[in-house]
Amino acid sequence: MARVLVGMAVALAASLGAAVAPGLSDTPSDALRAVPLAPGPATATDWQAEPHLPIIPRTRAEAARIAAVLSPPADFTRPEPFEDKPAGAATARFVPNADAFSHFPPNLPRAREMDFKLGNAIFRKLWVGAPSSTRGSDGLGPLYNARACQNCHIKDGRGHLPQGPDDSRVSAFLRLSVPGGPARPEIPDYIPTSPDPVYGAQLQDLALAGFLAEARMGVAWTEEPVTLADGTVVTLRRPSFAVEDPAHGAPHPDLQISARVAPQMIGLGLLEAVPVADILALADADDRDGDGISGRPQIVWSSEFDRPMLGRFGHKAGNATIREQSASAFLGDMGLSNPLFPFPFGECSEAQAACRAAPAGQEPDVREGLEVDGLGLDLVTFYSRNLAVPARRDLDDPQVLRGKKIAHDIGCTSCHNPKFVTHRLDGRPEQSFQLIWPHSDMLLHDMGEGLADNRPESRATGREWRTAPLWGISLNGTVTGVESYLHDGRARSLIEAILWHGGEAQPARDAVVALPTPDRKALIAWLRSL
């Protein structure tokens, strides 16, 4: 894949993560109509703009320095400079317990620590149905998937599929759609879809008293053994998902289902601050360099800015900003109205009249007439933007260094791009001017039939997924108590996750299968150091 580092610039301070003073510079579905916050029609090129960021432009001199810093390593006998700080100056101390993902960055201004803590309180708050005496917490539902953000994002980490018939499904859910719908001429290669006419764009498997949950997510498993070159047998679990016990009749006959587990929350603000130009420099949609990697940018309609934008968040990069991702979750997961989606009935479709007529938590004198007001949404956004990435471990271990070289040699880093430098930002020192190591190119890739959900999202096909960032991956099980990988949590180990890779990643996957035992162990050791 072409790796031309175009437009990358920043003056690297000694820490390569400290902010530089500005003066030194030489899914919700389309069926949901949000309140537009930016006027004017959009054109086919508008999606490359970054209205969500207070950007201080880079200089040519900075660009040259950044290009050198971001070049691939030539020496694998020692770590690269600042590789131990995957989030630059925003890197948190490594804490090997369930709170590893729940810290604010050390470069957060002291005056903003209370905002982080208030955002955390809202993130953890259990919402209740209306009407209620707890006027600050009512408005849940009537249909919902969880009562709190942290019920899905367990300890700010990943969700997981149910581990048995009696296990909770609260951190996993089903996206729904049917083919066809309004066109989006502003988005190249847009694939029209619509919510299910009865069950909407997301299946809600919980409901307030007096209402019926829409259905329950059914999952069945088949096992597939894979034999590695050294004779090791790895058993993969293939899930099959279904809408079970539907309360309002059978879903649409052409229903498209995609199972998702909640993603981890760390480093989101840094990913939001990566320049669009630097992500596009990694794209190679037509595979002109012939390496088999064809990353494409996701483009989505932003309800926050009423225009197309680069998609960054979610398994198919379905949202452009953290604020919109948070607002979408409030609406879809908990049925809470907010400034971007001011619907008191949550995601209840027009076919669910009783649900739409249910009491709401909207009062003229409380929370701006919404269930989550602007301040509440901003605090949760701030919290989500500033959950810190833990420091790396063992990066100078010879086995880890060997694994890093193997990852580069077999092509893992063609998609899991190691590093970026974020925009210089006015008023956001936590994300400004940081050398970061997310190991993601933020692009869509065809991952093959094995991982296909056959459900398009904006311009992403049913076989495409955004490259998942790898930072913090070794702490997945420590934080949540369950090792769970990939978009639907089917993989129970890192080797299982690798073996599910297909499509553009098939050659790298096959190379892992063929590795001698010591080399495969070295690769896994490298992953566990991230």
Cβ-contact 247, 213 below 8 angstroms: yes
Token couple for 413: 């880093």
Q: Is 214's pLDDT higher than 80? A: yes
pLDDT on residue 100:
97
In this predicted structure, which of 38-52, 391-405, 411-425 has the lowest mean pLDDT?
38-52
CATH code for the structural domain at 22-26+39-107+389-527: 1.10.760
The predicted model gives 5-10 an average pLDDT of 32
CA dist 521 and 247 (Å) reads 48
Decide: residue 366, CB within 10 A, 0-12 exposed, 13-18 middle, 19+ buried: middle
pLDDT (average), residues 233-239: 97
Q: What pTM value is reported for the model?
A: 0.91
Q: What's residue 25's pLDDT?
A: 32
Instruction: Tell me the per-residue pLDDT of 442-451, one tens digit each, with 9 for 90 and over.
Output: 999 999 999 9
20: pLDDT strictly greater than 50: no
Give me the DSSP letters along 102-150: ----TTS-GGGHHHHHHHHHHHHPPPBPSS-S-TTSB---SEES-SSHH
pLDDT at 170: 81
DSSP string, 203-224: ---EE-TTS----EEEEEEEEE
pLDDT at 46 over 90: no
Per residue in 61-103, pLDDT (tens digit) is 888 889 999 999 999 999 999 999 999 999 999 999 999 999 9
44 pLDDT band, cuts 50/70/90, is low
Q: How many C-beta atoms surround the C-beta of residue 365 within 10 A?
A: 7
CB-CB contact of 22 with 56 (8 Å): yes
Could you tell me what percent of the chain has a pLDDT over 90? Answer: 83
CA–CA dist 163, 253 (Å, integer): 29
In a 10 Å sphere around its CB, with 0-12 CB exposed, 13-18 middle and 19+ buried, how is residue 68 labelled?
A: exposed
pLDDT-derived band of residue 32, with 50, 70 and 90 as boundaries?
Answer: very low
Q: Exposed (0-12), middle (13-18) or buried (19+): which is 149, by Cβ within 10 Å?
A: buried
Specify whether the CB–CB gap between 472 and 494 falls below 8 A. no
* Position 332 pLDDT exceeds 60: yes
| Cα–Cα distance, 225 to 179 (Å, whole number) | 34
Q: What is the mean pLDDT of residues 455-473?
A: 98
Q: Report the pLDDT averaged over residues 147-170.
A: 87
| Beta strands, E only, 14-99 | 55-56
Within its chain, how far is the Cα of 317 from the centroid?
7
Beta-strand pair 464-466/193-194: unpaired
Tell me the two tokens of residue 126: 């259990």
**Mean model confidence pLDDT for the chain:** 90
Sheet strand arrangement including 256-261: 193-194, 172-179, 256-261
